[in-house]
Chain A
Amino acid sequence: MSKPTDVVQGTLDLLVLKVIALEPLHGWAIAQRIRQMSSDVLQVGQGALYPSLHKLEQNGWVSAQWAISENSRRAKYYTLTKAGRKALEDEAAQWERLSSAISLIVRTV
């Protein structure tokens, strides 16, 4: 298995939003989920994750609640807000456009 790649710059927000769109998660679980969902290809370091979460929270795209985690500890759970759902759609569409454009170029080589 090759070394997991760091998340592409600028796409972390999209990934985070996507992951918590399914269910509220805490930071650790978000990082784990991204890794699992990308079959260990994408790895999110806490150094990027938490600032991103806090920024999303300030933007009003996610909201945070303290709750008891699966290992019976207090953890901060992030939920997608209505505005966040809208932002997710925008970001996803944006990403679709971008990635297909990049694929086009790469494929033509």
Chain B
Amino acid sequence: MRLSAILHRRLRSLLFCRRVEDELDEELRYHLERQIEEEIRAGASPEEARSAALRSIRDIEQRKEECRDARGFGWLENTVGDVRFAVRTLRKAPVFTASVIAALAFCIGVNTAIFSVVDTVLFRPLPFPDQERLVAVTEGVPGLGFPVLPFSCPDYLFVAANNRSFAATGTYRTQSYEISGAGQPRRVTGARVTSSLFQVLRVSPSRGRAFTQDEDEHSTRVAVISYGFAQSAFGGPERTLGRTILLDRTPYTVIGIMPLSFSFPISGSRFSDHPADVFVPVSWSNDDRQQNVSGFDYSMVARLEPNVTIQQARAEVHSLLKRVVEDYPPKMKQALSHTPNFSLQSQTVPFREEFTGNVERPLLLLMAAVGIVLLIGCADVANLMFSRMIGRQREFALRAALGADRWRLARQTITEGLVLSGTGGAIGFGLAFWALPLLIRFAPDNLPRLNEIGLNWRMMAFVAVVTLATPLVFCLGPLANTFRSTVVDQLRGQGRTTTQGKHQRLMMSAAVVTQFSLAFLLLTTAGLLTRSLLKATEANPGFRPEHVISAQLTLPSAVYKAPDQIAGFFDRLLSRLNALPGVRQTGAISDLPTGSSSNVIISIEGRAGAAERVDMLFCRGNALEALRVSLLRGRLLRPEDELGRQHAVVISEAVAKLAWPHDNPIGRRIRFGIDVPNNDEPWLTVVGVVADVKARLNSDAPRSLLFTTLPDWVNQMNVVVRTSGDPLLLAGAIRREINRLDPSLPVGKFETLDQVLEQSLSAERFRTGLLICFAIAALLLAMVGIAGLLAYTTAQRTHEFGVRLALGADRRALLRLVLAHCLRLSGTGIGVGLLASVFVTRALTGLLYETSPHDPGIFAAVPSILTVIAVGGSMFPAWRAIHTDPIMALRAE
């Protein structure tokens, strides 16, 4: 009975607080009345009796209190009281309260949001069973300048058939498909995959089935589609199975739908940027199977055998590829003997590295930045709590001297800390909830695993504990001091002048110095990234993007089979577009200069064995003129070149320097493929050299570009149109002309080249924007920090200031005093920050474009900004100092 009954009674006193109180009243009243009766019986008058009874029942409220304590749960009632009391006291210090809550909320919110993103992208297990056994395997031809490539079909098949390291292997290749038969014709990302891919990943369709190896080998036209695609194309997965979709105008039957969580390839992967919506059998043709040292298009993913390590697998694939080279047909071997250091290499890495490579450093940078903000924020909270508590030491000493229970005082202090932490924490979590979707929306869309990002509760708990513990830790320290030192000392005011006070000041100063040095670091990083972004934005891309509009067109090969058909379509389209009003030049180019492009190996006439890796772009019409690529020598490609007997090619300056470093390249000849006797590619004559064009605005290395009119079967082209006015106004007219030529051809989004260029920097813009935000936050927090410390020290020196003023000191001298203190602190912080930054910013090297990590402009600006911030933060304390009323200050003692 004991425990439950006790609990019941205590709960009763807690829950039915009012009733219990009433009963207590009644019981005591009964006692009082009996006492009065007794007195009257003893002969007293009613008045006397009453006052005697009342005297005897001294301090009835105190009795009640004791009864309440005896009933237990008094602590909870007290807690409610403490909370009320804490809220009341905190409201009397609005600036302090707001600063602490804001610092806490910001740190918790932002850290949780950023950590959630970073953790999902970099650390959280992939949504595949036993994902740690998954590996990505690449091959490479380092001798030709391609250290990392996807697999070619025959090499993959050989490794898949002969390895003993992998339990299963699969491969995939994404490509864009025109889709019709499900709503408007449009383009989707599709993936040609081996049937084994689903087994490797251990994911199967949530409805229907995956295709079999048999279907793959027999080129059966079946498709497995993503859940999202089933939703958007057919309005849901229910009525989708068995439907027919047209991929590049070839019918495929939908046999399976993947689960909603399945997103593959993962965005931002090395060789395929976007997840596919449609998965079809890879169904290799005989040509595919013959592609030696070419056709490196298939990303390989494998699952390790249980007892095999990555190193063992890597070694095995390596030796298998050696056998591949040994097994090349004699002709091939002979050809390769001209390339001195030819070999096939391979890398086997955890599957995760397939997509983390590009984002790892920027994300870790962001994480470090929010970590710094967290540190600065915690230092703020610590200092604010600390100085407040020290300011209240006398109050506590007095209360203790007047008989207040020490435990009760401690409890009140803790309650105050908890009220602050609780409010800050609640707002912080709210902020995280609000900020995370915002982060996701502005994140570059090739950020891996965007679809999986959700608030990370573990991280949230961690950040919460760290941040919430700070106020508690820093209010208990001074409290313990108060209890340790004697009441008399405290009341005499020695708490301020003893060494203990010095220690405290030193600690708080150290915190402010740390804040300023960390803020310096963050500000420098943000400054460098901003400068780099501006440089990249202003960089000359090698062509003139303004007034150019483009749209990608892919002619389905099922319909446009012959090169003549493709050439005919583009010729007709370009001549129609040329006739539109407002159009200056038109052309078509296989890839925009900022996009990806086909890597090819070229050999140079007259230089045996010389092979160079270049990026090839096919042009039609006056594409180069429309792009205003700047011509350095010779001439640009002309429409007539497409007909010519002599194949013309225009090279970028980088290629010219590679191939003919000392000679005039005009009139020289190159051809695709390595320089072997049986290379039957036609020779191409260089007719012009153009300035280097950048793939991405922020890439330092110029691209080796080759513009040619060959081959004529390229069916995916970007139509580029230079206009005299706003290029987007012509989008409708261009679309109409395309539709007139082929009504079922989907036309993608029209974009101006300005937009395309801007998008190429979206990742940089995202991270730079975030860093600027964090730097501003760090500045504000540092300002709060120094303001808090100065407010504390000036408050402690009120007496001294009062004496100085009374003795006739100039108020300006006081101002100088406070400012000097402020500059001493911030100066030290800036000095430390400067030293640290010199070392730390080196780590940014790879992320900066044409900006030195020790950029003098930034390193000069940051200290000035921080000094302004410090002086700004000292304004309020300084104002307080010079407005000290000497009489008040002295009387307060």
State the majority secondary structure of interface residues on A. helix
A74 at interface, CB cutoff 8 A:
yes
Q: State whether B26 touches A74 (Cβ < 8 A).
A: yes
Q: State whether B27 touches A59 (Cβ < 8 A).
A: no
B10 at interface, CB cutoff 8 A:
yes
A51–B31 CA distance with the chains assembled, in angstroms: 14
Q: State whether A58 touches B71 (Cβ < 8 A).
A: yes
A75–B28 CA distance with the chains assembled, in angstroms: 10
Q: State whether B2 touches A60 (Cβ < 8 A).
A: yes
A53–B67 CA distance with the chains assembled, in angstroms: 8
B24: min CB distance to chain A, Å: 8
Q: State whether A27 touches B6 (Cβ < 8 A).
A: no
Q: State whether A57 touches B63 (Cβ < 8 A).
A: no
A46 at interface, CB cutoff 8 A:
yes
CB proximity to A under 8 Å, residues B40-72 = 56-59, 62-63, 66-67, 69-72
B732: min CB distance to chain A, Å: 84
A83–B5 CA distance with the chains assembled, in angstroms: 11
Q: State whether A50 touches B63 (Cβ < 8 A).
A: yes
Q: State whether A28 touches B10 (Cβ < 8 A).
A: no
Tell me which of A60, A71, A76 contacts B5 (CB under 8 A).
A60
Contacts of A71 on B, CB cut-off 8 Å? 34, 37
Q: State whether B10 touches A58 (Cβ < 8 A).
A: yes
- List the A residue with the shortest CB-CB distance to B13: A58
B108: min CB distance to chain A, Å: 40
Q: State whether A54 touches B30 (Cβ < 8 A).
A: no
A71–B27 CA distance with the chains assembled, in angstroms: 14
B23 at interface, CB cutoff 8 A:
yes
Contacts of B57 on A, CB cut-off 8 Å? 46-47
Q: State whether A55 touches B70 (Cβ < 8 A).
A: yes
Most buried by B among A27, A46, A71: A46
A52: min CB distance to chain B, Å: 8
A74: min CB distance to chain B, Å: 7
State the majority secondary structure of interface residues on B. helix
0 or 1 for each of A6-47: is its CB under 8 Å from B? (1 = yes): 000000000000000000001110000000000000000111
Q: State whether A45 touches B28 (Cβ < 8 A).
A: no
A49–B775 CA distance with the chains assembled, in angstroms: 65
A107 at interface, CB cutoff 8 A:
no
Contacts of A76 on B, CB cut-off 8 Å? 23, 26-27, 30
A73 at interface, CB cutoff 8 A:
yes
B807 at interface, CB cutoff 8 A:
no
Contacts of B72 on A, CB cut-off 8 Å? 58
A76–B31 CA distance with the chains assembled, in angstroms: 10
CB proximity to B under 8 Å, residues A49-93 = 50-52, 54-55, 57-60, 66, 69, 71, 73-76, 82-83
A58–B20 CA distance with the chains assembled, in angstroms: 13
B9 at interface, CB cutoff 8 A:
yes
B1 at interface, CB cutoff 8 A:
yes
- List the B residue with the shortest CB-CB distance to A52: B70
Known A-B contacts A28-B34, A73-B30; A58 and B63 likewise in contact (beta carbons under 8 Å): no
Tell me which of A54, A55, A57, A83 contacts B1 (CB under 8 A).
A83
A54–B13 CA distance with the chains assembled, in angstroms: 11
Known A-B contacts A27-B30, A76-B27; A45 and B56 likewise in contact (beta carbons under 8 Å): yes
Contacts of A47 on B, CB cut-off 8 Å? 57-59, 62-63, 66
Known A-B contacts A50-B67, A51-B67, A54-B71; A59 and B6 likewise in contact (beta carbons under 8 Å): yes
Q: State whether A60 touches B1 (Cβ < 8 A).
A: yes
Q: State whether B26 touches A28 (Cβ < 8 A).
A: no
Tell me which of A28, A46, A51, A69 contacts B70 (CB under 8 A).
A51
Q: State whether A46 touches B63 (Cβ < 8 A).
A: yes
Q: State whether A58 touches B1 (Cβ < 8 A).
A: no
B400: min CB distance to chain A, Å: 24
- List the A residue with the shortest CB-CB distance to B59: A47
Most buried by A among B6, B34, B72: B34
- List the A residue with the shortest CB-CB distance to B62: A47
B821: min CB distance to chain A, Å: 54
Contacts of B66 on A, CB cut-off 8 Å? 47, 50-51
B42: min CB distance to chain A, Å: 13
A83: min CB distance to chain B, Å: 6
Known A-B contacts A46-B57, A83-B2; A54 and B10 likewise in contact (beta carbons under 8 Å): no
Most buried by B among A51, A57, A69: A51
A51–B68 CA distance with the chains assembled, in angstroms: 8
A27–B23 CA distance with the chains assembled, in angstroms: 13
A89–B361 CA distance with the chains assembled, in angstroms: 75
A28–B31 CA distance with the chains assembled, in angstroms: 6
A1–B560 CA distance with the chains assembled, in angstroms: 128
- List the A residue with the shortest CB-CB distance to B3: A60
Most buried by A among B23, B24, B33, B67: B67
B55: min CB distance to chain A, Å: 11
Contacts of B28 on A, CB cut-off 8 Å? 46, 50
A106–B569 CA distance with the chains assembled, in angstroms: 125
Known A-B contacts A28-B34, A60-B5; A54 and B70 likewise in contact (beta carbons under 8 Å): yes
Contacts of A52 on B, CB cut-off 8 Å? 70
CB proximity to A under 8 Å, residues B592-610 = none
Q: State whether A75 touches B30 (Cβ < 8 A).
A: yes
Q: State whether A27 touches B27 (Cβ < 8 A).
A: yes
- List the B residue with the shortest CB-CB distance to A45: B56
- List the B residue with the shortest CB-CB distance to A73: B30
Tell me which of B2, B23, B31, B37 contacts A46 (CB under 8 A).
B31
A53–B283 CA distance with the chains assembled, in angstroms: 90
Contacts of B62 on A, CB cut-off 8 Å? 47
A54–B69 CA distance with the chains assembled, in angstroms: 9
Contacts of B37 on A, CB cut-off 8 Å? 71
Contacts of B31 on A, CB cut-off 8 Å? 27-28, 46, 50
A52–B71 CA distance with the chains assembled, in angstroms: 10
Contacts of B27 on A, CB cut-off 8 Å? 26-27, 50, 75-76
Contacts of A54 on B, CB cut-off 8 Å? 67, 70-71
- List the A residue with the shortest CB-CB distance to B20: A54
- List the A residue with the shortest CB-CB distance to B28: A50
A68–B381 CA distance with the chains assembled, in angstroms: 60
Tell me which of A28, A45, A50, A58 contacts B6 (CB under 8 A).
A58
A42: min CB distance to chain B, Å: 16
Known A-B contacts A27-B30, A28-B34, A83-B2; A51 and B9 likewise in contact (beta carbons under 8 Å): no
Q: State whether A58 touches B2 (Cβ < 8 A).
A: no
A73–B62 CA distance with the chains assembled, in angstroms: 25
A68: min CB distance to chain B, Å: 12
A100: min CB distance to chain B, Å: 30
Q: State whether A60 touches B6 (Cβ < 8 A).
A: yes
A83–B6 CA distance with the chains assembled, in angstroms: 12
A73–B31 CA distance with the chains assembled, in angstroms: 11
A30–B764 CA distance with the chains assembled, in angstroms: 83
A97–B33 CA distance with the chains assembled, in angstroms: 39
- List the B residue with the shortest CB-CB distance to A28: B34
CB proximity to A under 8 Å, residues B737-754 = none
- List the B residue with the shortest CB-CB distance to A56: B70
Tell me which of A28, A59, A82 contacts B30 (CB under 8 A).
A28
Tell me which of A51, A59, A74, A83 contacts B69 (CB under 8 A).
A51
A75–B5 CA distance with the chains assembled, in angstroms: 22
A21–B803 CA distance with the chains assembled, in angstroms: 72
B577: min CB distance to chain A, Å: 92
A52–B70 CA distance with the chains assembled, in angstroms: 7
- List the A residue with the shortest CB-CB distance to B5: A60
A26: min CB distance to chain B, Å: 7
Listed A/B pairs (8) with beta-carbon separation below 8 Å: A46-B28, A46-B56, A47-B58, A47-B63, A51-B67, A59-B6, A76-B27, A82-B1
Given A46-B28, A76-B27, A82-B1, 10 more A-B residue pairs with CB atoms under 8 Å apart are A27-B30, A28-B30, A50-B63, A54-B71, A55-B71, A58-B6, A58-B72, A60-B6, A71-B37, A83-B1
Identify the A interface with B (CB < 8 A). Answer: 26-28, 45-47, 50-52, 54-55, 57-60, 66, 69, 71, 73-76, 82-83
Minimum-distance CB pairs A-B, first 4: A55-B70, A54-B70, A51-B66, A28-B34
